[in-house]
Structures are given as C-alpha cells and as structure tokens.
C-alpha cells in the first residue's frame, strides 16, 4: 500500500513530470519545439503535447529525444526521484 500524501502534496502525472524535464532540457539546448521535432522525426504537436504533460512517451521516443538533445536518458528522467515517484499519479 502506498503511503498517504500530505495535505499539500502536489499530485503530478508521469506525463507531466516528464514534460517539465523535456522542456527544461530543450530550452537549455536552445532548441525550438520545431527543431526538436525535426531532429527526432516526431511531429511538433507531439513534442508540445509531451511538454504540456498531455502525452507520455514510450521508451523508444525517450531514447530518440535524448539523442537529439545530446543528453543521456537519465537527464530526461532525473526528476523521477523516489519522492516524486511516490507522489506521481499513474
């Protein structure tokens, strides 16, 4: 059984947590959504939906994003800490 959340805990979705990291890394690399979409072969709409937490990518897409951003997969998943995982809505 999962531990109860504190009254003020923020419930985040997996897609939302990933989207925050994706946007942060993309901005750090100075890329637009369009440039990232082109580099990965994904649609600009899909990149935007991932960043807004509306879509959760599969592992293959995460690898493509990491390659295009020249970062490790870990860099895109760094926000998935033990605490965040306990609080995330699946």
End-to-end CA distance of the chain: 14
Prediction pTM value: 0.85
Q: Which residues pair with 12 in a beta bridge?
A: 88
Q: Does residue 7 register a pLDDT over 50? A: no
Residue 14, C-beta contacts closer than 8 angstroms, at least 6 positions apart = 56, 88, 89, 90
**72 and 66 in contact (C-beta within 8 Å)?**
yes
Residue 7 lies in a domain: no
Mean pLDDT of 33-37: 98
pLDDT tens-digit readout, 53-84: 999 999 999 999 999 999 999 999 999 999 98
Phi, psi of 13 (to 5 degrees): -90, 160
Residue 2 lies in a domain: no
pLDDT at 58: 97
Domain hosting residue 43, numbered range: 12-85
By percentage, how much of the chain surpasses pLDDT 90? 79
Q: Is 78 helix (H, G, I), strand (E, B) or coil?
A: coil
pLDDT band at residue 90, thresholds of 50, 70 and 90? confident
Residue 4 lies in a domain: no
Among 74, 68, 78, CA closest to 17: 78
CATH code, domain with 36: 1.10.260.40
Residue 1 lies in a domain: no
When divided into structural domains, the chain yields a total of 1
């Amino acid at each position: 059984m999962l531990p109860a959340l504190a009254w003020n805990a923020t419930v985040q979705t997996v897609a939302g947590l990933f989207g925050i990291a994706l946007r942060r890394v993309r901005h750090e690399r100075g890329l637009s959504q369009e440039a990232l979409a082109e580099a990965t072969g994904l649609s600009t709409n899909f990149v935007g939906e991932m960043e807004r937490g509306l879509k959760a990518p599969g592992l293959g897409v995460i690898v493509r994003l990491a390659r295009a951003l020249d970062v490790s997969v870990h860099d895109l998943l760094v926000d998935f800490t033990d605490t965040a995982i306990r609080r995330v809505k699946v």
